[in-house]
Amino acid sequence: MDATTLREAAIAALLLVGAAFALVGSIGLARLPDFYARLHGPTKATTLGVGATLLASALWFSGRDSGVSLHELLVAGFLFLTAPASAHLLASAALHLGVRERSRWLAPWPRRPAAPGAEHPLERPAHAPEDDDDTR
Amino acid sequence: MTLLSGAIAVALALLGTALVLNVWRLVRGPSAADRVMALDTAYINTIALLVLLGIARDSALYFEAALLIALLGFVGTVALCKFVLRGDIVE
């Protein structure tokens, strides 16, 4: 296995890992139960996925005729700087709108006692009304 | 070469699925903050997709578009969040 094959294998692995992380973040965005839980997927997993993809691109274009190519890392650094800022703004916008968290998704600390009719503190009692996402 | 082209095809499929999920969240909502977050995730996934196309076509042109989207996407997210927060962008 020569150096070119090794480099292409590394690029392929980085591309697959990056795309898988981006997909996991988007699945989290689509499937998690409330806004504040959904905020985790894009801000962490997707940013890491794009970082791995940009690293693969830097590795690929470094093997071209123009020598070492590092300007992909510029985009990666910019995204890593701006993702927390935009997540903070999104959270404050949701707080301003009054988006509620789904109440029994995780028990707040200190753990509240089990609701009547439920065996476990995290469990929704059988007769409780379904508190759906509030539509605004 | 065949290993790399296979990986590119699989990564294209994964990123396409991710963008479809983002559009689903954008349509469904339910709050305005959810829609802004879906747009934010969509532009980040688009950067990955463009970089991937740049590798697949072996062209450095796609990188310029990815850099532009990275810069303007953040500005767009900030503007939309400010609009949700204040009801106005430029006060």
Tens digits of per-residue pLDDT, A64-79? 766 777 788 888 899 9
**Stretch A125-133: mean pLDDT:** 51
Nearest to B10 among A16, A27, A71 (CB): A16
Q: What percent of chain A has pLDDT over 90?
A: 24
Say yes or no to pLDDT of A126 above 60: no
Distance CA B41, CA A43 (A): 8
Q: What was the pLDDT predicted at A127?
A: 53
For residue A10, the Cα-to-chain-centroid distance in whole angstroms is 24
Name the token pair of A40.
């985790």
Distance CA B52, CA A61 (A): 12
Name the token pair of A88.
């903070």
Q: Which residue has the higher pLDDT, A17 or A128?
A: A17
Are B44 and A47 in contact, with CB atoms under 8 Å apart?
A: yes
User: Which residues numbered 10-69 in B keep a CB inside 8 Å of some CB on A?
Assistant: 10-12, 14-15, 17-19, 21-22, 24-25, 29-34, 36-38, 40-41, 44-45, 47-48, 51-52, 54-55, 58, 60, 63, 66-67
Contact: A89, B78; criterion CB under 8 Å: yes
Q: List chain B residues with CB under 8 Å of A38.
A: 25, 34, 37
With a threshold of 0.90, tell me whether the complex ipTM lies above it: no
Residues 6+ apart with CB under 8 A from A39: A87, A90, A91, A94, B37
Are B33 and A93 in contact, with CB atoms under 8 Å apart?
A: yes
* Amino acid identity for residue A56 in this structure: A
Contact: B77, A86; criterion CB under 8 Å: yes
pLDDT in tens, B4-26: 888 999 999 999 999 999 999 99
Cis bond upstream, residue A42 (ω within 30): no
C-beta atoms surrounding A58 within 10 Å: 21
**Stretch B35-63: mean pLDDT:** 90
Q: List chain B residues with CB under 8 Å of A49.
A: 48
* Residue A82 backbone phi and psi in degrees, to 5: -85, -20
C-alpha closest to that of B36 among A87, A81, A132? A87
Q: What was the pLDDT predicted at A136?
A: 45
pLDDT in tens, A99-115: 777 655 555 545 555 56
